Structure 1
Amino acid sequence: MTWGARPGAARSCGEQTLAIKPTESETFLREVDEELRKEQLNNFVARYGWALIAAAVLVLAGIAGLIWYQGHRAEQRDQQAEALTDALDKMEAGNRNAALPKLAELADSRSPGYRVAALFARANAQIEQNQLPAAIATLRSIADNDDFAEPYRQAALVRQTALEFDRLPPQVVVQRLTPLAQPGQPWFGTAGEMVAIAQLKLHRPELAGPMFGRIARDENVPGSIRARAVQMAGSLGVNAVESLGSPAAAAQAAPEAPAQAAAAPPPATERNSQ
């Protein structure tokens, strides 16, 4: 019986041997796979290592350069803001000779905002010195520059037209300012007034009267422009007195309009906002 027990023991040992072999095989395969991956990684690093290092250095240099550039631009903006404030203070104090060099420097700025502000200040100085051709040229350079935001360009165009109103053919005024002489436009009052007077010079009262009426009815237009519009509209048969909305405003518009509306002086360049 003892001899008969041995085959069972042998089978037990064989089962244990068979149970171990798959584990050893998996371990061997994992080791081979790890070695293969290490070899592939070493080959990749050996082949592309310097390129990766160079790319990393370039990325870091780019980030550092961007940070420096942003800081430099911020510092420049601060300096330009101080220069503009100083120039405007000198202009207000009447010291134009000290302000003009700063304005000339800002007029060449890479920042459109500071550039356009300097050009407007230069135009104001030229107007105060009665250098109207120079002021017109400065304003034209703003109006024609696509780098500037549309509100700045419109403001320059309106003021330029007001300065040269007496010398411009009426049809040029109408063509130039009609897009701005629309209700809802920021320069509706000033541009509309000039367009209406130009229409009178062209002997078109049927177009001028309604324009004055629309100006008088627009509460966003400054009171002084609305009052003039009421007078002009009344002289052309358009009743716009009630549109001023208050007895005091109506009383301001009570004086009769000039007898010759076509001879009315060019309007002031007053912005259509309170």
Structure 2
Amino acid sequence: MSELFDEVDEEIRREQLKKLWDSYSLYIIALALLVIASVGGWRAYQYFDAQKAAEAGDSFNKAIELSEQGKHTEAEAAFAGLAAKAPYGYRVLSRFRAAGEAAARDPQAAAKMFDEIAADRSVGTELQALARIRAAGLLVDSATYADMKQRLEPDTGAGATFHNVARELLALSAFHANDSTATRQWLDMIALDAETPPSLRSRAEALQALLPPVAKS
């Protein structure tokens, strides 16, 4: 008797499934096709994205070769092209390299390009800081100490990524401005910082030796 009831239950389930299929088959098929299309679209996106990255990598390497061959104008143009159309990572790298190539012909123009990167929050705080340092390095011999201090003072704190370089650039700028007090301030910060690299510490000591002796009170 139980087998009979099982068969009846099975028949009822089949009838219910048939009714569901008849009512919703189009929706089920559409959903299945949507899932297949989504997966296929994602795979296609990954493929073409990888293709673009590979092409950008080849172009980036060719631009580096131009730079290494001393063809800075051609290299700058190549990096500028990548900065405009390459995938994000290569765009950012190419902006730095284009500015670096421009430095050979026009330090002021290159500093402006680095300033534009430093103002772009999308690149991240560390790359913004690096761009500020690069711009300041190009301007250290021409900008006023007040301008250099405005540019770099936020990067001189102990927690800043490039605080050692920022301090050295400010010491040099103050020295060029004949501001011995400010020069000593930055050199002392360098000397007292246990994280100062040996090479920078040596340069700071050499600059310290060029300062006039402190007047005794």
Pairwise TM-score range, normalised by the shorter structure: 0.7 to 0.9
Q: Report the counterpart of residue 157 of structure 1 in structure 2.
A: 132
| Offset at residue 218 of structure 1 (A) | 4.2
| Offset at residue 32 of structure 1 (A) | 2.7
Aligned positions of 1:77-226 closer than 5 A: 77-129=53-105, 131-166=106-141, 168-183=143-158, 185-196=160-171, 205=181, 208-218=183-193, 220-226=195-201
- Residue by residue over 1:203-255, the C-alpha shift from the partner in whole angstroms, topping out at 9 and shown as x without a partner, is 682x653431231344654444322322455xxxxxxxxxxxxxxxxxxxxxx
Higher helix share: 2
Q: Report the counterpart of residue 54 of structure 1 in structure 2.
A: 30
State TM-score, norm by structure 1: 0.67
Bigger CA drift: 34-43 or 101-110? 101-110
Q: Report the counterpart of residue 236 of structure 1 in structure 2.
A: none
Higher relative contact order (CA 8 A, sep 6+): 1
- Letter of the aligned partner of 1:145 in structure 2? D
- Residue by residue over 1:3-22, the C-alpha shift from the partner in whole angstroms, topping out at 9 and shown as x without a partner, is xxxxxxxxxxxxxxxxxxxx
Judging changes above 3 Å, is the alpha-carbon distance between structure 1 residues 176 and 137 closer, same or farther for their aligned structure 2 residues? closer
Whole-angstrom CA distance in 2 between matches of 1:146 and 1:30: 68
- Letter of the aligned partner of 1:144 in structure 2? A
* Conserved? CA contact 1:174–1:199, under 8 Å: no
Matching of residue 37 in structure 1 with residue 13 in structure 2: yes
Bigger CA drift: 70-79 or 97-106? 97-106
* Conserved? CA contact 2:118–2:127, under 8 Å: yes
- Residue by residue over 1:173-221, the C-alpha shift from the partner in whole angstroms, topping out at 9 and shown as x without a partner, is 334322321335442222012334566759682x653431231344654
- Letter of the aligned partner of 2:123 in structure 1? F
- Letter of the aligned partner of 2:168 in structure 1? E
Matching of residue 229 in structure 1 with residue 201 in structure 2: no
Identity %: 27
- Letter of the aligned partner of 1:257 in structure 2? L
Whole-angstrom CA distance in 1 between matches of 2:103 and 2:26: 65
- Letter of the aligned partner of 2:117 in structure 1? I
Whole-angstrom CA distance in 1 between matches of 2:151 and 2:190: 18
Larger radius of gyration: 1
Judging changes above 3 Å, is the alpha-carbon distance between structure 1 residues 176 and 97 closer, same or farther for their aligned structure 2 residues? closer
- Letter of the aligned partner of 1:150 in structure 2? T
Q: What are the ranges of 5 or more consecutive residues in structure 1 without an aligned counterpart?
A: 1-23, 234-255, 262-274
| Offset at residue 94 of structure 1 (A) | 1.4
Whole-angstrom CA distance in 2 between matches of 1:155 and 1:39: 70
Matching of residue 257 in structure 1 with residue 195 in structure 2: no
* Conserved? CA contact 1:232–1:257, under 8 Å: yes
* Conserved? CA contact 1:127–1:135, under 8 Å: yes
Question: RMSD value over aligned CA atoms?
Answer: 2.9
| Offset at residue 161 of structure 1 (A) | 1.9
Bigger CA drift: 102-111 or 224-233? 224-233
| Offset at residue 260 of structure 1 (A) | 9.7
Whole-angstrom CA distance in 1 between matches of 2:138 and 2:213: 22
- Residue by residue over 1:29-52, the C-alpha shift from the partner in whole angstroms, topping out at 9 and shown as x without a partner, is 333322221111111111111111
Judging changes above 3 Å, is the alpha-carbon distance between structure 1 residues 232 and 104 closer, same or farther for their aligned structure 2 residues? closer
Judging changes above 3 Å, is the alpha-carbon distance between structure 1 residues 260 and 173 closer, same or farther for their aligned structure 2 residues? farther
